[in-house]
Structure 1
Amino acid sequence: MLESAASEEVIELGLKQFVLALSVALSVTALTQLIGRLRQVPYTLVLVMVGLALAFVDIRLVELSPELILLIFLPPLLFEASWNLKWGELKRQLIPVCLLAVFGVVIAVLGIAFGLHQVAGLSLTSALLIGASLAATDPVSVTALFRELGIGGSRLSTLTEGESLFNDGMAVVAFGFLVGLPLGTATLSVQSVLLQLVTVVGIGIAVGGVVGFGISYLTQRFDLPLVEQSLTLVATYATYLITEDLGGSGVIAVVVAGLVLGNYGSRIGMNPRTRVIVSEFWDFLAFFINSIVFLLVGDQIRYEGLLDNLGLIGVTVLSMLLARAIATFVLCFLSDRMTQSQIPIREQTVLWWGGVRGTVSIALALSVPVVLPEREDIISIVFGAVLFTLLVQGLTVKPMMIKLNLLDDQLVREEYLELAARQFALNRVLERLQSDKQPDIDPEFYRYQEALVKGEIDQTQTKIDKLKGEHPNLVSFIVEQFQEELMEVEANAYAELVKLGRLKEELSPTLEAALQEEGNQA
């Protein structure tokens, strides 16, 4: 009875802490939309600053642990990001994404470790663990930041989000290997490292693919939106847990499952209404978790630890930025030589500076075994570096993009897409007015409504023509959008035939190959 009572008290205390943290997070998020100046700052960064203020007065809402981050928060955030990542765009940027996700992590680990060991005199073991913790750009932070800046769906967004989704698995593998060196559970050899890497990544891809395609075919058998929505949530956690139990990378498995379900399963197994319901559910869940995570990141800071290690944090930040610069510019240069797609230097600059760290780095730092003597210093240094990337890089990436004329281009594209969507919707209304005239309604009413809608269509077209005249580069974007629309029509046709049982699997996109061949000839 005593054990049962104690367990109930723990559950009640945990629930109260969770509700308190959620209430604070949602209140802060609401205030950012009400106060004019705060609207210019991403709400995730405002939450970090509020968390820092709470930590300063020693108010701890919830004790953040690696298990809480890696098992509860991270899987749904990874799934939501990969669900919304377009495979067609990712495939076009696959070589630079893979180069940055694999070799970028190696360069970051070695660069940070070199700076801390050679310059600051930190032990090699601690330097390597800090390097592994900070090697990966964080998908939670990167995705939230870039979407708030309004650049979701662009090539820069695809490169940044794709890299951050895949390099997490690489960083976790590197950290697991390096943490085993001082404990005597791992040996340093190229063969063992490559074997472990292939095993972990291979298991992750295999499990994620099996779960993704399995649920894709399962949802073809019925049309129950709430059940299909629940299946995606269960699949997210099940994929992560099963893969980790098998010795693979749960991060990579969830990303693969999300990519398959978002780009394949949602087409062949879900009708349009269900896709909207599932997408809205994951948008809500990502917002819900992000609000808590970024508040708790700031709330976990121990100021005394930061002050004691201020010099080491400075060396870490400089080493991290230098290693990130080498990885970004060198690997993008190699990518340009290997592919037809060129990454402009201004996009590479944002790719370098926008590589913020976040929850994954904190989870890895908190995972350092207690038996290691420098554990507390490692945690403080990683927390300090993460805060720098979130507050300094996170707050300055938007001005940098404006200075480089990247955000302006994206805002123009967003404005065009909104106008085109409005014109498309108004044309649908006009078609309805002209084709479905009911005898009980006065014909004069129809004429008036048609004139009103035609006037709105003409005004929208005038705005589109003006926008194209002011921004000539918009024309090439419109052509790209139309080509993507044609390829989407082709892909949906294959998916519909699969759903009807007239095809066993989707065919290769003929139109995409033809367009690529035409581009090469040009």
Structure 2
Amino acid sequence: MAIETVGESAIEQNIEQFLLVLSVSLSVATLSRVVSWLRQIPYTLLLVIVGLILAFVDVRLVNLSPALILEIFLPPLLFEAAWNMKWRDLSRELLPVTLYAVLGVVISIVGIALAINQLAGIGLPVALLVGASLSATDPVSVIALFRELGAGKRLTNLMEGESLFNDGVAVVAFSLLVGIPLGLEEFNVPSTIARFFIFVGIGIGVGSLIGFGISYLTQRFDLPLVEQSLTLVSAYGTYVITEELGGSGVIGVVTVGLILGNFGSRIGMNPRTRLLVTEFWDFLAFFVNSIVFLLIGDQVHYSSLGENLGLIAITIGALILTRAIAIYGLGGLSNWLVKSEIGLRDQTVLWWAGLRGSVSIALALSVPATLPGRDVIIDIVFGVVLFTLLVQGLTTQILLEKLELTGEQPLRQKYLEAVSRSIALNRVLNYLSEASQYQEIEPEFCRYQAELVEGQLQSLTEEIIQLQKEYPQLRTLVMEQIQDKLLDIEADTYAELIRAGRLDKKLSPLLEEVLAAGQENLIE
């Protein structure tokens, strides 16, 4: 009976802590929308600042364990990003993204490790763990800022694509290196490379198997809540199964997310279900980010950071330098190999906006307690993460504006609203034309209503034409939307025919290649 009482007490305490964290996060979200000057700060960074304030007054909301981040928080964040990443956009940037995610991680690990080993006297095995922990980028705040300011779509794809894959590569690298300082393993280049490919291969294999399996399964029924639940199970299930098999759970989740978002959602879900699932994952990502970034700030111990300021400063310098070498060097290599044409301004933003966040914190906290220097690793990583989030994160908008990469978001929004109103009013006119045929409705009434609508439609048409003349680049917005709609119609038709039993297998998309070829001809 006593054991049951203790168990119930622990559960009650955990629930209270969870509700407290959630209440603080939602309060910050509300204030950031109500107080005008707070809107200038990205929401996730505002959470970190609030967490730092709570840590300063020694209010600890909850103990942040690595298992909590890696097994509970990380899968939904990775899945949501992969679900919303369009493969056709990612495939255009596959080489630079791969270079940044693989070679960029290697450059970061080696550069940071050598710097703190030579300048601060930290042992090389421990220094390598610091480098591995800090090699994973976490651009959640930056991506949100890009979208809000209307930064280029390509810049957003490069940043998000790199982050998706380098998280997995960083976790794999950390797993390979963590046994060295404990004397459990010896560093050997050939065997390390072989283990790396095994880790990644298992992740891709399990992710592909689960992703395609669920994709074909959902073709056979139309149950939105079940299909939504399957995506949730796939995210967590893929991570757990892949880790159990000795692979990279991060790579597995990214793989299953890409497959379900780009393949499964098109062949196995109708448009309403696809929208429902997307909104569910948007909510879950917001929910998880709200908790993670608040807890990052809340876990800081100012006294420990103060004792290691010199180490943190050296690591920050090494991080910024190695990031510059990776972005500019590998960007130049990609431009030379496949003519990626990643401009100097885009490379500069990619360099400065390479923030570190939850994955770095989780990796540092997962260092075995028996390892000498564990506390130093944690302090260095926490200090560097706070620098990137607060200094680089808060100055990225200034950099975008100085480099004139903020786009024309208000103008784009105005144009899309005018086009949307035009489409809606044309549908109204079609309805009035049909209604005028009914005997119970007087034709004169319909004619008068149609004249009013046509007058408003004429004004909208003139506004759209004027905007197109002044800003010809706006035409591409609607063209992209129409092409996406055409692809959706094709995929939905195949899925509908399969569910009706008129097809027994998925037909490969035909329009995607046709539209891509047509786009190239237009450019030429």
**Kept after mapping to 2: 8 A contact 1:491/1:509:** no
2:37 match: 37
- How many angstroms apart in 2 are the aligned matches of 1:325 and 1:241? 35
Q: 1:222 to 1:304 in 2, by over 3 A?
A: same
- How many angstroms apart in 2 are the aligned matches of 1:336 and 1:273? 40
Following superposition of structure 1 onto structure 2, how do residues 232-271 of structure 1 map, counting pairs within 5 Å? 232-271=231-270
**Kept after mapping to 2: 8 A contact 1:47/1:291:** yes
Q: What is the Cα deviation at residue 361 of structure 1?
A: 0.3
1:371 corresponds to 2:376: no
**Kept after mapping to 1: 8 A contact 2:126/2:181:** no
Q: Deviations over 1:396-455 (max 9, x none)?
A: 111211222211245544443333333223322322222344443443443343233333
2:507 match: 506
2:298 counterpart letter in structure 1: D
Q: Deviations over 1:99-127 (max 9, x none)?
A: 11111100111111122112222221221
1:164 corresponds to 2:167: no
- How many angstroms apart in 1 are the aligned matches of 2:514 and 2:443? 50
Q: What is the Cα deviation at residue 491 of structure 1?
A: 4.8
Q: 1:122 to 1:410 in 2, by over 3 A?
A: farther
Q: 1:141 to 1:130 in 2, by over 3 A?
A: farther
Which region of structure 1 is more displaced relative to structure 2, 484-493 or 219-228? 484-493
**Kept after mapping to 1: 8 A contact 2:43/2:141:** no
1:301 counterpart letter in structure 2: V
**Kept after mapping to 2: 8 A contact 1:498/1:505:** yes
Structure 2, unaligned runs of 5 or more:
none
2:350 match: 351
2:389 match: 390
1:290 match: 289
Q: 1:5 to 1:432 in 2, by over 3 A?
A: same
- How many angstroms apart in 1 are the aligned matches of 2:518 and 2:466? 33
- How many angstroms apart in 2 are the aligned matches of 1:287 and 1:362? 19
Q: 1:377 to 1:31 in 2, by over 3 A?
A: same
Q: 1:415 to 1:317 in 2, by over 3 A?
A: farther
2:70 match: 70
**Kept after mapping to 1: 8 A contact 2:219/2:498:** no
1:339 match: 338
- How many angstroms apart in 1 are the aligned matches of 2:432 and 2:81? 40
RMSD between aligned residues: 2.3
1:460 corresponds to 2:452: no
Q: What SS does structure 2 have at the residue aligned with 1:292? A: helix
Q: Which runs of 4+ in 1 moved over 6 A?
A: none
**Kept after mapping to 2: 8 A contact 1:78/1:139:** no
Q: 1:157 to 1:6 in 2, by over 3 A?
A: same
Identical-pair percentage: 58
Aligned length: 521
Q: What SS does structure 2 have at the residue aligned with 1:181? A: coil
1:384 counterpart letter in structure 2: G
Q: What is the Cα deviation at residue 348 of structure 1?
A: 1.3
- How many angstroms apart in 2 are the aligned matches of 1:163 and 1:348? 13
1:112 match: 112
Q: Deviations over 1:11-52 (max 9, x none)?
A: 111110000000010011001000011112111111111111
**Kept after mapping to 2: 8 A contact 1:169/1:249:** yes
**Kept after mapping to 1: 8 A contact 2:25/2:47:** yes
Q: What is the Cα deviation at residue 471 of structure 1?
A: 2.5
**Kept after mapping to 1: 8 A contact 2:132/2:173:** yes
- How many angstroms apart in 1 are the aligned matches of 2:67 and 2:203? 19
Q: What is the Cα deviation at residue 379 of structure 1?
A: 0.6
- How many angstroms apart in 1 are the aligned matches of 2:124 and 2:447? 80
Q: TM-score, normalised by structure 2?
A: 0.93
- How many angstroms apart in 1 are the aligned matches of 2:99 and 2:496? 35
Structure 1, unaligned runs of 5 or more:
none
- How many angstroms apart in 2 are the aligned matches of 1:450 and 1:96? 53
Following superposition of structure 1 onto structure 2, how do residues 41-190 of structure 1 map, counting pairs within 5 Å? 41-138=41-138, 140-151=140-151, 154-190=153-189
**Kept after mapping to 1: 8 A contact 2:146/2:406:** no
Q: 1:300 to 1:459 in 2, by over 3 A?
A: farther
Q: 1:485 to 1:122 in 2, by over 3 A?
A: same
Q: TM-score, normalised by structure 1?
A: 0.94
**Kept after mapping to 2: 8 A contact 1:141/1:358:** no
Q: 1:150 to 1:60 in 2, by over 3 A?
A: farther
1:519 corresponds to 2:523: no
- How many angstroms apart in 1 are the aligned matches of 2:414 and 2:79? 28
Q: What is the Cα deviation at residue 372 of structure 1?
A: 1.7
Which region of structure 1 is more displaced relative to structure 2, 451-460 or 101-110? 451-460
Q: 1:472 to 1:194 in 2, by over 3 A?
A: same
2:376 counterpart letter in structure 1: D
- How many angstroms apart in 2 are the aligned matches of 1:458 and 1:374? 72
Q: 1:491 to 1:2 in 2, by over 3 A?
A: same
2:11 match: 11
Q: What is the Cα deviation at residue 69 of structure 1?
A: 0.4
- How many angstroms apart in 1 are the aligned matches of 2:117 and 2:459? 64
**Kept after mapping to 2: 8 A contact 1:142/1:161:** no
Q: Deviations over 1:449-468 (max 9, x none)?
A: 32333333333333333333
Q: What is the Cα deviation at residue 486 of structure 1?
A: 4.7
